[in-house]
Amino acid sequence: MEYKVKYIDSEGKRHEKVYAFNSENELIEKLKAKKYEILDITSINKKTKNMFIFSSNTLKENIVTELLKQFSILLRSGIDIKTAMKFLHEQESNKELKTCLRDIGHYLDSGYTLGESFELCGKFPNLISGVIEAGEFSSELPASMEMLSNYYDNESKIKQNMRNAMYYPIILLFVTGIIVLAIITFVLPNYVTLFHSYENLELPWMTRLLINGSNFLSKYFLLIPICIILLVIIFKILKNNKKIYFNFSKQILKVPVLGKYIVNLEVLRFSGVFSLLVKSGIETIEAIKIASKSLSNEYLKERILNSKNVIIKGSTIFDSLTQIDELPKMFLNLINVGETSSKLGETMDISYNYYKDLVSNQSKKLTSLFEPLIIIFVSLVVGTIVIAIALPTFEIVNIL
């Protein structure tokens, strides 16, 4: 969401600028942290941005990963920030990223820091601008960019492995759907004509059900894509309903096998982001706030985000996170060790590597679990169709 803001900066100068933030509260919090006096905030509604169901306001992860790699290399080679940004802008072929890099260059020329410029662009996760700001503050920007690059590179590999694990089941279901449609469309009509030529032939209930289903699909075939689109829209609406989606996120964690996998995946994400932020020198409260926003499960995201309120009152990270029953003991013990030894960044690295291997193994196990279930399902569907056609065919043979 974009907002037009009128404010007075710390030097008493009046400004009117456009900012891109997830919410108005986040924007207000950011401006107050800079000691700005806010005069007016107006939301800018851009109808073209969210016309499509799957549209996104952020750049694709592979594009971000490649940008961070190149930026890290340029900075480590001794090139200054503005020159590096100019090089990246000139060589970029992706129109969306090229526009974003141009805007970042303008923000830099206007006196904004690199972290603020990335944030103002509105196309990057808060994690990136947060780590960059910490790197600028500590004069370790090249190292911060390299850490970001490595993190997103690892994230891309993990997601790619998860996608690869799902290819076989999806392809199998897709092929099964084509086979079933082919049988119903091309094979079944010939048998129906044959069955109707015998007036005294009584069709089994299974065959009648198959024929009625085939007739329905023939007449109302367009209902299939319409129903799919409606289901996607309903899912989108329910997802945008915070209360419903929050309860769904909570209940799905109770599903055997799948729930544990989701928890481990979220712990993996949190460990990676939290480690990166802590090692960059970002304060614990801010690190928890940013790291929790990297989670996909709304229930865990809100519970971990709220844990910062307990920490503010003087509790340890370990004690605050222990109140979340879903979090695994291994992860909590590593948090405890990191706090007591003042090596939280290092222990979160250990946690990240441990859960990366664990999630990878669980992905393979889930795939191996789903494969026989899908094969059984496919066998039942195809077998039922074959039996429904075969039974009356045998009766015709007996009549002859």
Residues 123-159 have pLDDT tens digits of 888 788 888 888 887 778 888 888 888 888 888 888 8
Q: What is the pLDDT of residue 140?
A: 82
pLDDT band (50, 70, 90) for residue 268: very high
Query: What secondary structure letter does DSSP report for 314?
Result: T
What is residue 265's predicted lDDT score, i.e. its pLDDT? 92
- Residues 350 and 334 sit within 8 Å (Cβ to Cβ): yes
Residue 286 near residue 130 (C-beta atoms within 8 A) = yes
Q: Which two tokens stand for residue 93?
A: 């072929």
363 CB-side CA count, 13 A: 18
pLDDT over threshold 70, residue 44: no
Contact between 1 and 43 under an 8 Å Cβ cutoff? The reply is yes
Q: What is the pTM of this model?
A: 0.70
Fold agreement (1-46, 155-400):
no
The pair of three-digit structure tokens given for residue 307, joined into one six-digit string: 């844990």
CATH of segment(s) 155-400: 1.20.81.30
The pLDDT value recorded for residue 15 is 76
Q: What number does CATH give the domain 1-46?
A: 3.10.20
Residue 389 has pLDDT above 70, yes or no: yes
pLDDT for the residue 40: 80
Interacting residues of 202 by C-beta distance below 8 A, sequence separation 6+: none
148-152, 215-219, 247-251: segment of lowest average pLDDT: 215-219
Among candidates 56, 58, 63, which has minimal Cα distance to 121? 58
CA angle at residue 319 from 313 to 323, to 5 degrees? 105
Q: Hey, what are 90's tokens?
A: 């000139």
Model confidence at 50: pLDDT above 50: no
Average pLDDT score, the chain? 84
Residue range 235-258: mean pLDDT, rounded:
88
Q: Where are the domains of the chain?
A: 1-46, 155-400
Among 2-6, 34-38, 352-356, the least confident range: 2-6
Query: Degrees (nearest 5) of the Cα angle 215, 220, 223?
Result: 140
Helix H or strand E encompassing 37: strand 37-44
Give the pLDDT confidence score for residue 45 in this predicted structure: 53
Q: pLDDT above 90 covers what percent of the chain?
A: 25
Q: How many other C-beta atoms are found inside a 10 Å radius of the C-beta of residue 246?
A: 15
Tokens 């075939």 belong to residue: 221
pLDDT band at 360 (very low <50, low <70, confident <90, very high): confident
Please state which of the ranges 40-54, 70-84, 265-279 shows the lowest mean pLDDT.
40-54
pLDDT at 58 over 80: no
Q: What type of residue sits at position 225?
A: P
Q: 309 is written with which tokens? A: 């309120």
Q: What are the contacts of 364-367 at 24+ separation with CB within 8 A?
A: 364/165, 366/165, 366/257, 366/258, 366/261, 367/165, 367/166, 367/168, 367/169
Quick one: angle between helices 344-399 and 205-219, nearest 10? 110
Question: Which pLDDT value is given to residue 48?
Answer: 37
